[in-house]
Structure 1
């Protein structure tokens, strides 16, 4: 706590606020946000990982289109309008004529083409969004075409659903439009400006990156030449404050405006505070129990089916998952096209025992359960360990960091694993299914680590084809029915991943902060004002 008070004082001075002894209320035109920055390793749009970094880019870079925070519909941003070709093999974007980068350079279609090609050339984390749709460096110049300064054409390399491409382009990272002139002016050894972009911004967003000190703070300053409505906040100070209790105390005092990393006990303690608002919103993906199909016990369909009845869905939902997730058992996110109601699985020890006996394990067996060593993962894993034991499955918990737990999954060296994932960043069923079920090549050397189907060694050729066919169906009603059929089939074959909760994002903020968008994937500080 002492360390934070010292760094908060530094932050106050950096943004021109009051000294710490009078920092009981943040300035009206400055927003102070507490979050966790451990995953912010670079601010180069091509190389970022994690939702926290997307949140920073949402305020410094524009995309061609954005997703509405209200209903996740596709809305204009740098592109005023667009048309999908009759054959669905191209999308023509008409750019705003008044948009400028923070450098003063005009935003052009050439910048759009360069930004997307750069993504493939850099071949880092964010390139996977385009690579999985068939885009390659070799065909980039034919697929990313600037017809003139204000008209950009995205050609599709293979049949696809154009709406899904639009959703990908709406996400900062794969969709960030970079000032090519500024990036190339700061190029070193052919890195396309990568070193410079790690610590600097070259976007057209409502804020500019003023300073970033790793695992301490990020300062964003209002871009007064922004093409859109001028933000009410002159500056935004994002603080690295991973301790939940410290965030709560600072929020109660008014030393911070927004807390993004609060744990459930601290959120509960704030519920009765009239000066604090708490909001949860649909996030991306699911909390799930997964098995490795490399293990002959879990390759047994009866064993996987038994596991369905060894999760206390309702108990987890009430006791552990508030603020983190809500009960959900299907592989498609709520509100997406074709999403079906839950199957209605409940904890049923006797049914699970009968299924284990049918599968050849009347006395259960010993196994390991890998899990992140943090909430809510550990609490959920402990609860599932208990219900597994009631049916004779003795699961030893192995906890650790993300690299240790998901690393084992990426190497296909695990037995049971409680995790979080399953897509959902793009509000399209294909995004869920490609992540959680699709696996085009089950060979070990395929290394398809982006696919959780591959990670769990699950392969079903019929399911792959069903997913591919549904993506290409043009009739929305028929497409929705195909996605319903896929879920029914997945229920029949008993997947290697069983969701038990759908991720929600939760934040607490001072009640006089207006215009908050809680989801880090969609959050933009340009809409925020303070009613004081």
Structure 2
């Protein structure tokens, strides 16, 4: 009798092979069922167009969602704290030097050992590509690998964000790091490796059976892109997928009411924000910006548009982020808003524009239209501009706009990622410049004492909030929806779900 070893990726051919070799249907169906139980089918809300997390897509959440299962960092953030991962320990022999000691016995999925040369090559490329995360490493002077298990990073000034920045650096093999073809099916030291990838459509990961840590229970993860929310929900209800996330508020109750499905909602590092172009009148005057904030009842908007899916913000970054703080709320006060406008010389209001990306975020159009209605009540006519993302981004970076509504994610879980990256005068992101704010943000970035860093960010957040550099209305929650036979899912505040601890019954 012929014996076959059945592989999950070959299930589609098993029936034909079974008939050819005379194998009964029983084992075939059993293998097929087992393969289904070991494969998690995921519908991602945004297309995955690249698996290279070192260049232009270094801050792209779809890319990073997959990459985190494959490429591991030296340190990781868990439950708000930085913990060792590929590095077992580290020290600061002086304020400009960080020395990391790598774990022994860790190998890449191809069997080659992890060395400090791999960590060095990965950071070298991230910096050299000058992508969206390169700025986090502006103070790096030298990166050295004096032996196979030691990595030394020297900086031109103290860098208090070193560890949080490193949580975003997955380690790839030095021999492959500059091979563009490698990132069609990359592998690292992680629990999974890439078996197949079609840009914009699907990714298939398979278990790394030689993983150094706790082995994942899943044999495969299949990511597929389903652009329409209704399509993802239908696929979930029809047992065509097992897991999805990023559901808008008006769809959550539908899923909660479906038999065999579960919804888990959790706070994240993401928030909505509304920026003013402070280099353009009338937004050069802080009183105008403050008036716009007082004119809107964001608590009511949260109840109407985001019930159970957002909380009214208490500061310019979400409360789950290190360095966040609670600021004095802006009361909904139309009379005060009108007085502030009059004091600024706009007693009769003014006309302006507001842009947003049509691909932005949950209920963005409804949110924008509601804001327009509120501002009309104080004599401010806002012309809405819904743009394709590429056009919106181009205009945003050129400061070719009056105001904009969007969302953000403090991916590292550290205030520096958002506050210093966006609100330093040198960033030139919204036309606002404040030497005092610059001083605080740079001091916080350079401070190694994390308690002192938190105090500095609290003061920086107060300036951004009180000056109404933007309006910060809502901290967002993520809704993950999955079938009840999926177990072991652990929510992640960076809104990039991980599946290394997940299993299927």
TM-score when normalising by structure 2: 0.88
1:240 lines up with 2:249 in the alignment: no
1:154-173 paired onto structure 2 within 5 Å:
154-161=153-160, 164-171=161-168
1:199 lines up with 2:184 in the alignment: yes
Among 343, 363, 369, the residue aligned to 2:328:
343
Q: In 2, distance between residues paired with 1:212 and 1:52? A: 13
Q: Is residue 275–residue 470 contact of structure 2 (8 Å, CA) maintained in 1? A: yes
Deviation of the 1:471 alpha carbon:
3.4
Deviation of the 1:393 alpha carbon:
0.6
1:148 lines up with 2:147 in the alignment: yes
State the partner residue of 2:20.
Answer: none
Q: In 2, distance between residues paired with 1:130 and 1:475? A: 19
1:380 lines up with 2:371 in the alignment: no
Deviation of the 1:329 alpha carbon:
4.0
State the partner residue of 1:403.
Answer: 390
1:500 lines up with 2:495 in the alignment: no
Q: Is residue 267–residue 476 contact of structure 2 (8 Å, CA) maintained in 1? A: yes
Among 460, 466, 471, the residue aligned to 1:486:
460
| Cα 1:387–1:17 shift into 2, 3 Å | farther
Q: In 2, distance between residues paired with 1:33 and 1:491? A: 38
Aligned residues: 479
State the partner residue of 2:432.
Answer: 458
Q: In 1, distance between residues paired with 2:73 and 2:231? A: 35
1:311-460 paired onto structure 2 within 5 Å:
311-322=296-307, 325-373=310-358, 375-421=362-408, 424-440=410-426, 451=427, 454-460=428-434
Deviation of the 1:474 alpha carbon:
4.7
Deviation of the 1:26 alpha carbon:
8.2
1:229-264 Cα deviation digits (max 9, x unpaired): 111000111011111111111112222110124332
Among 131, 134, 138, the residue aligned to 1:124:
131
Decide which moves more: 340-349 or 399-408.
Answer: 340-349
Deviation of the 1:297 alpha carbon:
0.7
Q: In 2, distance between residues paired with 1:24 and 1:150? A: 43
Among 65, 78, 81, the residue aligned to 1:73:
81
Deviation of the 1:17 alpha carbon:
6.5
1:158-204 Cα deviation digits (max 9, x unpaired): 2221xx21111112xxx121112244xxxxxxxx21x2133120311
Q: Is residue 158–residue 448 contact of structure 2 (8 Å, CA) maintained in 1? A: no
1:92 lines up with 2:99 in the alignment: yes
5+ residue gaps, structure 1: 1-11, 184-191, 441-450
| Cα 1:38–1:336 shift into 2, 3 Å | closer
| Cα 1:265–1:63 shift into 2, 3 Å | same
Q: In 1, distance between residues paired with 2:342 and 2:357? A: 31
Q: In 2, distance between residues paired with 1:24 and 1:221? A: 17
Q: In 2, distance between residues paired with 1:125 and 1:425? A: 12
Q: In 1, distance between residues paired with 2:351 and 2:116? A: 59
1:309-337 Cα deviation digits (max 9, x unpaired): 12221122112234653210412330444
Q: In 1, distance between residues paired with 2:297 and 2:12? A: 49
1:2-151 paired onto structure 2 within 5 Å:
16=11, 27-48=36-57, 49-68=59-78, 71-85=79-93, 87-131=94-138, 134-135=139-140, 139=141, 143-151=142-150
1:419 is paired with a residue whose SS is strand
State the partner residue of 2:21.
Answer: none
Q: In 1, distance between residues paired with 2:289 and 2:252? A: 35
1:1-36 Cα deviation digits (max 9, x unpaired): xxxxxxxxxxx99573699xx999982111000013
Q: In 2, distance between residues paired with 1:317 and 1:179? A: 46
Deviation of the 1:276 alpha carbon:
1.8
Q: In 2, distance between residues paired with 1:410 and 1:513? A: 42
2:289 is paired with a residue whose SS is helix
Q: RMSD of aligned C-alpha atoms?
A: 2.5
Q: Is residue 506–residue 518 contact of structure 1 (8 Å, CA) maintained in 2? A: no
Q: In 2, distance between residues paired with 1:34 and 1:294? A: 41
Q: Is residue 113–residue 146 contact of structure 1 (8 Å, CA) maintained in 2? A: yes
Deviation of the 1:521 alpha carbon:
5.5
Deviation of the 1:287 alpha carbon:
0.7
State the partner residue of 1:211.
Answer: 196
Q: In 1, distance between residues paired with 2:33 and 2:369? A: 40
Q: Is residue 25–residue 255 contact of structure 1 (8 Å, CA) maintained in 2? A: no
Q: Is residue 365–residue 393 contact of structure 1 (8 Å, CA) maintained in 2? A: yes
Q: In 1, distance between residues paired with 2:292 and 2:398? A: 23
Deviation of the 1:112 alpha carbon:
1.0
Q: Is residue 247–residue 261 contact of structure 1 (8 Å, CA) maintained in 2? A: no
Q: In 2, distance between residues paired with 1:518 and 1:328? A: 21
